[in-house]
Chain A
Amino acid sequence: MSPHQVSPDQASPGQAGTGEASADQEDSAAPVTRQEAARPEAPARPEAAGQEAPPGADPPAIVTTGLTKRFRSGQLAVDGIDMLVPRGSVYGFLGPNGSGKTTTIRMLLGLVYPTQGSHALLGVPMPAGTVQVLPRVGSLVEGPAFYPQLSGWDNLARVDAADRTADPRTAKKRITTALDRVGLLAAKKKHYRAYSLGMKQRLAIAASLLQPRELIILDEPTNGLDPQGTREVRGLIREIATDGITVLVSSHLLAEVEQICTQVGVMRTGKLVFQGPLEELRARGAARIRVTTTEPSRAAEVLGKLGLADVSAGDGEATATLGDQAPEQITRELVYAGVPVAGLDTPRPSLEELFVGLTGEGFDVDG
């Protein structure tokens, strides 16, 4: 039940920094700088995904290579994305509406056939391996869809009947457990059409939990939910992840992903413009240095001498763009210069600012 039970079998090289997630936010700038140095201008694409896994390790949960979908209308919905979802991670799949997330997910699950590129789920090439691998993959694609005239229970029984790997003898038990897990056991006899949107959403999640899974793909699981429902679903996702199951959750809401994800992939007009640990996305922002002091003008002078750009002195503090300078070096210089340093930190742009920077303002769907 440990919250970070993530990784004995991590296949990803980029996973290393995940644990120290929120620690380096406020105090020392060192970890930040180290990450910056490690990936000066982090490429949006991971280098040739699958091959990096050490031999003998589990293959990554999802690998795509140049996955592309051009619809017959000529619309290029997904444009050569290389995705890598390490085992055990919670992968936030971000992007504005219409950026190609759902089409990508449909391709991952074999609903839509790619026009170019390839992908594998749990090491099994798709879509050839659909029947083989999908029983180990639970999914919710583009909102819940069930038979309105059937009860919640009957709907799950229907889904279970479609699964040729499901044992009919355990169906009752598995359906009960799944409904219980999402808190719908009391409403199991209610018709689906009488369900609230939140209940429908939860039923869809229950359907993805009918069998033991290794990977769960949730497309906009909190779409249309009230804050209460959103919280519940988020809690559920955390719980699933705690069981060691890899989760891919797509969303156009950054805040949602930020709270539960270890990895993020950001889509913009069909392209994957960023992929990596959440911390790496944070680290991408141009950090500033902020010196809290009783003598801001002298501090600013020192910062200027060190060659920092965009220096300004304000009320009780001096700031500048950090650039590639090490904060500890700057601290030393300040102290040498006799500036009374009361505090020093390296604030970064918020994730939201970074996200908007990656995906563009507003709803520009130019794909």
Chain B
Amino acid sequence: MSTAELSVPRGGAPAAAGGTSPPAHAQPRNGLRSWTRLLGSELRLMFRRWRNLALLGVLVVLPVVLGIGLRVSMPHGGGGGGGGPGASFFAQLAGNGVFLSFLALTILLTLVLPLVVAVVAGDSIAGEAGTGTLRYLLTVPAGRTRLLAVKYVAVVIFGLAACLVVSAVSLIMGAILFPIGPVTLLSGTTVSLADGLLRLLYVTLYVAAGMAALAAIGLAISTLTEHPIGAIAAILVLAVGSEVADNVAQFAVIHPYLPTHFWLSFDSLLRAPIDTGSLLHGLLSFAVYIVIFGSFAWARFTSADVTS
């Protein structure tokens, strides 16, 4: 049928791209380029939304407030009691500003970072469905699998950006408010500042990996509804519920299977030698969550009727 195709005769018509004949233009162009173009469009949309920028703004403000608050209270309180990485970071902070980053990541990881990821992940499909733009994207056609993959990558990038913002802002605040120098690790060894910063980068990436796992769960939930608020709430309930369950000793049996269980395992990056075992365990857990919920999202999204 390719030869007898109805060509568009008039130039005023939808602007044939340099005389492309229909069969030619129906062929997908350079695969990778078309993906990056859609991803670029997705990221522009995401990073230009006021709501998302406000979320990033919160991630800028909180470490600043945290740093100032700790600096002000520093002379009086010595090392905070109790266990957990938060407490030990707090003890280290007096000696080195770099630890403000670890402290900020730890604190924001309990609620604020999951909230940020929940918002963008929950909105990813449900938001498009809610406004009806989903049907326009799908009839373009964006391709359901391609759209879902691009959405996921964009959410992961946003989560990474959120983690980087927290690390960077608190690092700057730490440098301003506290002494900076060679970093004494949790295990007592002291490494150079450069090594300390490299470890901070690893920690940030690890936290972002945990957020990527949450993003996969969020994406799956987002394919179930056309109400983004509902999806966001569900993701948050899941994340917080998992954290609560992780803190109940009686649930110890299921702890390793909880999506949030390994989020804080990054403190092993702050020991020498690095306990790669628990790190890999954490990354494996994230990967499993990404595969399971990614598959679920794909199965659901490619088979669901779009009636919004």
Contacts and interface: CB of A to CB of B under 8 A. Distances in A.
Interface of A: 1, 9, 56-59, 71, 87-88, 106, 109-113, 122-123, 130-139, 141-143, 145-150, 157-159, 161-168, 170, 173-174, 176-178, 181, 204, 207, 209-214, 243-246
B6 interface: yes
B131 A147 contact: yes
B13 interface: yes
Interface of B: 1, 4-10, 12-18, 20, 22, 25-29, 31, 33-35, 37-38, 40-41, 45, 48-50, 131-133, 135-143, 146-147, 303, 305-307
8 contacts: A132-B26, A141-B136, A161-B38, A161-B40, A164-B142, A167-B20, A177-B15, A207-B136
Most chain A beta carbons < 10 A, residue from B15, B50, B132: B15
A112 B6 contact: no
B25 to A, nearest CB: 5
A159 B17 contact: no
Nearest to B307: A112
Given A146-B133, A243-B8, A131 B17 contact: no
B69 to A, nearest CB: 35
B135 to A, nearest CB: 5
Nearest to B34: A164
Given A143-B132, A181-B12, A209-B14, A58 B6 contact: yes
A87 B6 contact: yes
B28 A214 contact: no
A2 to B, nearest CB: 11
A130 B141 contact: yes
A134 B135 CA distance: 13
Contacts of B35: 164
A159 B140 contact: yes
B143 A131 contact: yes
Nearest to A175: B15
Given A130-B141, A158-B41, A161-B40, A145 B136 contact: yes
Given A141-B136, A159-B140, A214-B6, 14 more contacts: A9-B4, A111-B135, A143-B132, A145-B135, A146-B131, A147-B45, A164-B34, A167-B29, A168-B37, A177-B12, A177-B15, A207-B136, A210-B14, A212-B16
Given A130-B141, A141-B135, A165-B28, A244 B305 contact: no
Nearest to A143: B132
Contact of A111 (B29, B33, B41, B306): B306
Nearest to A242: B10
A114 to B, nearest CB: 10
B132 A167 contact: no
Contacts of A168: 33, 37
Contact of A164 (B4, B14, B132, B143): B143
A58 B1 contact: yes
B20 A58 contact: no
Nearest to A122: B1
Given A161-B41, A212-B14, A145 B133 contact: yes
A177 B11 CA distance: 10
A59 B138 contact: no
Most chain B beta carbons < 10 A, residue from A122, A145, A148: A145
B212 to A, nearest CB: 23
Contacts of B34: 164
B307 A162 contact: no
A209 B6 CA distance: 16
Contacts of B14: 138, 174, 177-178, 181, 209-213
B6 A167 contact: no
Given A162-B147, A165-B25, A111 B139 contact: yes
A38 to B, nearest CB: 28
A139 B135 CA distance: 10
A135 B26 contact: yes
A59 B27 CA distance: 19
A170 B37 contact: no
A99 to B, nearest CB: 16
A38 B20 CA distance: 43
Contacts of A122: 1
A109 B18 contact: no
A1 B10 CA distance: 9
A212 B139 CA distance: 15
B6 A88 contact: yes
A211 B139 contact: no
B22 A214 contact: yes
B134 to A, nearest CB: 8
Contact of A57 (B4, B28, B133, B135): B4
Contacts of A135: 25-26, 140-141
A125 to B, nearest CB: 13
B232 to A, nearest CB: 18
Contacts of B50: 149
A164 B37 CA distance: 9
A146 to B, nearest CB: 6
Given A131-B141, A145-B133, A212-B20, A136 B4 contact: no
Contacts of A57: 4
Given A9-B4, A132-B26, A167-B29, A162 B15 contact: no
Most chain A beta carbons < 10 A, residue from B25, B49, B136: B136
B303 to A, nearest CB: 7
A48 B31 CA distance: 39
A161 B142 CA distance: 9
Given A9-B4, A134-B140, A214-B6, A112 B28 contact: no
Nearest to A146: B133
A173 B15 contact: yes
Nearest to B49: A149
Q: Which 5 A-B pairs have the closest CB atoms?
A: A145-B132, A161-B41, A177-B15, A164-B34, A162-B142
Nearest to B131: A145
Nearest to A69: B305
